[in-house]
Structure 1
Amino acid sequence: MQFDPFGDPFRQLDRMAQQLVSGARTPMRMPMDVWKDDAGYHVELDLPGVDPSSVDVTTERNVITVRADRATRAAGSREVLIAERPHGSFVRQLQIGDGLDAAGVSADYRDGVLHLLVPVAPSAQPRRVEVSRDSHPDHREVVGSASAERDAVGPAA
């Protein structure tokens, strides 16, 4: 069971109890890959067989939460002999650093894979600092004054 710091822990316990009673197998996590490039961080989560309308991605503070549901097929007059494919609710929470832009997260779901792009915050992106080649007009006078004072005092011993 995964603790949801923004949810009701008793709801999680209730869900777990229902799973034990019903025999349903509901995973709370989904496999993922993460990589970084110039656009930011890419996250791919496997959600095979999930209806795209059930996928919900939210951001709150520095946490991205992905929720999805995979419905079970109604047994009806069928007798289920083996039920190994996971179904029910899937939840995954990703903690992101302050240098990432939670408000700029984008999501795309294709072929059973949810792709998230988490961009680097503009304030955390490296930037080139321009080095001025022209001295400040007063800088030459100060340097000139300092050297004139040194010459008046005499060479150092």
Structure 2
Amino acid sequence: MIMGFADPFDTLLNLQRSLDATLANDWLQDLTASRGPFPPINIFQQGDDILAIVELAGIKKDDLQIQAKENSIRIFGRKTVEYPGEVSLHRQERVSGEFDRTMSFPVQIEPDGIKAEYRDGILALFLPRAESDKPRTIKIA
């Protein structure tokens, strides 16, 4: 007796549904809900200047470095997660390790005028636009 499938596309569709259901179940995964770049950053313009708000929860100020060059900012450092004494880890969603993130801007930044404030795991970077990059008003004679 020869057995065949009524419709091979139905078989493939059922297989795809089974795979999707398996991947949708997070019981065996050790991923966090956020899968984007780390650290998360919001950047917006305030007048001529740029303001960047960076979430760095659990990172010590001494483990954080910021560099500025022309039209970019680099934020890098290390996040450590420590556990007291002998523990048995059942689920790990708090990530640790080194991170390195660079953002480029459409304007030149004045590196000497940058101000950084770090409080409660939030870094605020005030990035002034370089005077040489600001538009000039030309008087017509």
TM tier, smaller: 0.5 to 0.7
Deviation at 1:72, TM superposition (A): 1.9
AA at the equivalent of 1:66 = I
Q: What is the Cα-based RMSD across aligned positions, in Å?
A: 2.6
The TM-score normalised by the length of structure 2 is 0.63
AA at the equivalent of 1:70 = K
Partner of 1:96: 105
Partner of 1:83: 92
- CA deviation vs aligned residue, 1:46-81 (integer Å, no higher than 9, x gap): 101111111100124543210122212146311111
Is it true that 1:55 corresponds to 2:64 in the alignment?
A: yes
The TM-score normalised by the length of structure 1 is 0.58
Is it true that 1:71 corresponds to 2:65 in the alignment?
A: no
Q: Secondary structure of the residue that 1:123 maps to in structure 2?
A: helix
Deviation at 1:40, TM superposition (A): 0.3
Partner of 2:24: none
Relative distance call for 1:126 and 1:62 in structure 2 (3 A) is closer
Is it true that 1:107 corresponds to 2:105 in the alignment?
A: no
Identity %: 22
Bigger helix share: 1
In the alignment, is the contact (CA less than 8 A) between 2:53 and 2:122 conserved in 1? yes
Deviation at 1:130, TM superposition (A): 4.3
Give unpaired runs (5+ residues) of structure 2. Answer: 1-29
Is it true that 1:36 corresponds to 2:45 in the alignment?
A: yes
**Larger Rg belongs to:** 1
In the alignment, is the contact (CA less than 8 A) between 2:77 and 2:100 conserved in 1? yes
Deviation at 1:39, TM superposition (A): 5.1
Deviation at 1:43, TM superposition (A): 0.6
Following the alignment from structure 1 to structure 2, what is the Cα–Cα distance between the partners of residues 63 and 120?
A: 12
Q: Secondary structure of the residue that 1:53 maps to in structure 2?
A: helix
Following the alignment from structure 1 to structure 2, what is the Cα–Cα distance between the partners of residues 34 and 28?
A: 14
Aligned residues: 108
Give unpaired runs (5+ residues) of structure 1. Answer: 1-22, 133-157
Following the alignment from structure 2 to structure 1, what is the Cα–Cα distance between the partners of residues 52 and 68?
A: 14
Following the alignment from structure 2 to structure 1, what is the Cα–Cα distance between the partners of residues 80 and 65?
A: 15
